[in-house]
Amino acid sequence: MKKLIFLCMLLMGHLTLSTAQENAGGGILFHENEPWKEIIALAQKENKLIFMDCYTSWCGPCKALSKNVFTQKKVGDFFNPQFINVKYDMEKGDGKVLQERYKSYIVGYPTLLLIDKNGKVLQQMAGYQDADKLIQGIRKAAKGRDLFTLAAEYQAGNRELTFMKEYIESLNAAFLRDSVNNITRRQLTVIDPKELDKDEVWDVYGTYVKDVRSAAFEYLVNNAYRYYRKLNRDYYKINTQLQFCCEKELRSLFKLNFDEQGKPQALSVDTTTARKVIAYMQKADLNHRDSYLAKLYIHQLLLKGEYQEAWESIMLCHRIGVRSFTSAAVHDYIRFLIHYPVGKVALKNYLNVLEQFRATGEKGAFSYHMYRTMAEIYQQLGNAKKAKELQQAYQAIDGQRMKEIKNSI
């Protein structure tokens, strides 16, 4: 019996030891969800910085980071000797308190913080980081090249290329994309666009040439093919960048906006920029430029109040399958047009089109939101009974959808 007890104790001890040895020989050894006061005391006693993994139980990237990165030997070899390593579920126990305390540094999950022994944040990183980037970011911070020191240098006026590269990398690692976009946009208005010909400048700023109104963007459009042929740059990547930026701007310019009551707001009158961006698309031989030419033509008709000609053009584009002239887009145009003096004949035409969408049964052709638009048209045509019927149909479906969404949360 004594031998059996001894064997059990030995096995238990062996299991505990092997687990510790496995961790020690592998990844980071963490204090998980331990009292924060004890962690601070330990950091002060050992005179070490604290590396904190802020996670939640539902966060996929958090789990991937724990499984694929924190377990690597080189990561453990770097972190274990230098830092007090801690993990906190930010929705439980001390994690909730820490989330409130450090919320200005937590932009999402996972967030990785480097904190001094007095609880001051020295560095923040966010999102999934591969092992090398994680080590690089924390190593720089531990040596005084943390995000906040770099920010102070930037505010003091440092714009040297090597510094800007370092600062942008730190901001990206912290997932502070708005800050990255702001500083790169400002810098691209200062430097001569021809500087982008230099590889070292392109490597820092190339992917941030996004403002279609800037001289840098125009220069990139005019030189995209030369960059590919002469400078051996990724033509597909550049064209994808140009395509995304041009389409984003044009969608914004041509978008039909409505207030909470469903009434249309004023159309953009900036057709000059629209024409310029479409010209960029033609120059760079980008996709879908014909679709945006059609949208520009219709947009100008709407601005001039030529509603019937605009409607005929909308339906022509829809019938021949011009990209983005879907049933949903046609519906938005109808929502816009019914608030202007188009006449009863036009209202009946709009109604017939919506009825056709409903009758086809084609997936995606009819949205229940169209019931509300149909109700408005029937109301204008003097058929209050039909308007009420369709409004009730809309409200019933909308209520059910809201209930489903509420139950899923």
Give the strand pairing for 49-55 and 83-89. parallel
> Taking the CB of residue 276, how many other CB atoms lie within 10 A of it?
15
Q: What is the pLDDT of residue 26?
A: 81
Q: What is the pLDDT of residue 25?
A: 54
- Asked if residues 219 and 230 have their Cβ atoms less than 8 Å apart, the reply is no
CA distance 231 to 213: 25
> Taking the CB of residue 58, how many other CB atoms lie within 10 A of it?
9
- Burial of 208 per CB tally in 10 Å (0-12, 13-18, 19+): middle
Q: What is the pLDDT of residue 4?
A: 35
- Burial of 103 per CB tally in 10 Å (0-12, 13-18, 19+): exposed
Alpha helices in 53-160 (DSSP H): 60-68, 73-82, 93-101, 131-142, 147-155
CA distance 108 to 115: 18
Q: In whole angstroms, how far apart are CA 301 and each of 270, 313, 337?
A: 14, 10, 12
Q: Which of 276, 315, 303, 312 is nearest to 292 (CA)?
A: 276
Q: What are 48-58's pLDDT values in tens digits?
A: 999 999 999 99
Three-class secondary structure of residue 55 per DSSP: strand
pTM of the model: 0.82
Please enumerate in sequence order all residues whose Cβ is within 8 A of that of 209, keeping only pairs 6 or more positions apart, or say none: 188, 196, 216, 217, 220, 241
Q: What is the pLDDT of residue 80?
A: 97
Long-range contacts made by residues 192-201, C-beta under 8 angstroms, separation at least 24? 193/218, 193/219, 193/220, 194/219, 196/220, 196/223, 197/223, 197/231, 199/231, 200/161, 201/161
The domains found in the chain, sorted by start residue, are 31-144 (3.40.30.10), 335-404 (no CATH)
Q: What is the pLDDT of residue 407?
A: 82
Q: From the first residue on, what is the mean pLDDT of each consecutive set of 10 residues in the chain (409 residues)? A: 35 33 69 96 96 96 96 96 97 95 94 95 94 94 93 97 97 93 97 97 98 98 94 94 98 96 95 98 96 98 98 98 95 97 97 92 75 96 96 93 83
**Looking up tokens 């947009």, which residue turns up?**
299
> Taking the CB of residue 324, how many other CB atoms lie within 10 A of it?
15
Respond yes or no on whether the N-terminal peptide bond of residue 110 is cis (omega within 30° of 0).
yes
Q: How many helices (H) and strands (E) does the chain have?
A: 19, 5
Alpha helices in 255-322 (DSSP H): 271-283, 289-304, 307-319
Q: What is the pLDDT of residue 3?
A: 37
Three-class secondary structure of residue 305 per DSSP: coil
To which H or E segment does residue 111 belong? strand 111-115
Three-class secondary structure of residue 355 per DSSP: helix
Three-class secondary structure of residue 261 per DSSP: coil
Q: Provide the residue count of the chain.
A: 409
